[in-house]
Amino acid sequence: MSEEKPQETPKAAAAYEEYAALGPGRSLEKLVEKRRQSGGNSTVRLRTIEAWSSLHEWQRRVRTYDVEIASAEAKKIKAIHDEMNSRQVETSKEMQDVAIKQIKELIQVKSFGSLAAVQLLKNMIEAERKALRADDDTKKVEITGKDKGPIIIQTTWGGGSLEDDE
């Protein structure tokens, strides 16, 4: 994960790994304190750690290490985000199918008084757009009739319409 200079001793390399693992708030002093508190390696003094850090370019190496860690974390988050979006798109499509089926059933029994199915369809379309990043604040799905009035849906099967079947 992190580069090791050839002349770095195993003790210095281990100290570097501990130092890098301390994270963005790290310091050589914190490393020495951590080692003292752990009981082991308490004989390594701050001056020795400072010499190793300078000789083996710990500051340059730790910047590279931090970028690697941040990049790996960003990749994990992106993968989680992409999976969530895929799941939401599939759910949205399923719910759109349910809403469309309900709307058709309401049309067939001429009980299109409820807007619940229409609202479900609108919400699922918007959810799919967001999951596909096709949304922006200026685009909204509006399902209304002429002049924001009621929706009039006319379908035909065979040679006539529902109105002809009365």
Instruction: Give a yes or no: residue 51 inside a domain.
Output: yes
CA 115/CA 97 separation, integer angstroms: 16
Q: Is the pLDDT of residue 156 over 60?
A: no
Q: How far is CA 29 from CA 35, 37, 50, 84, in A?
A: 10, 12, 9, 42
Q: Is residue 50 part of a domain?
A: yes
Give the count of domains, the chain. 2
Task: Pick the closest to residue 126 from 115, 116, 136 (CA basis).
Answer: 136
Same domain, 89 and 127: yes
Candidate ranges 111-115, 117-121, 123-127, 130-134; pick with highest mean pLDDT: 123-127
Give the tens place of pLDDT for each residue, 22-59. 998 999 999 999 998 887 655 689 999 999 999 999 99
Q: How many Å apart are CA 104 and CA 81, to the nearest integer?
A: 34
Q: What pLDDT does residue 155 have?
A: 47
Taking each continuous run of H as one helix and of E as one strand, the counts in the chain are: 5, 2
pLDDT in tens, 61-109: 999 999 999 888 889 999 998 899 889 888 888 888 887 788 778 777 7
Same-domain pairing of 51 and 93: no
Q: Are residues 82 and 129 in the same domain?
A: yes
Check whether residue 81 and residue 128 sit in a common domain.
yes
Question: Whole-angstrom Cα distance, residue 134 to residue 139?
Answer: 9
In a domain, 162, yes or no: no
67 assigned to some structural domain: no
Residues spanned by the domain of 46: 10-56
Residue 92 to residue 123: CA distance in whole angstroms: 8
* Amino acid 164: pLDDT: 39
| 17 & 46 share domain | yes
Q: Is 70 a domain residue? A: no
pTM of the full structure: 0.51
Does residue 14 fall inside a structural domain?
yes
* Alpha-carbon torsion, ordered 50, 6, 16, 23, to 10 deg: 120
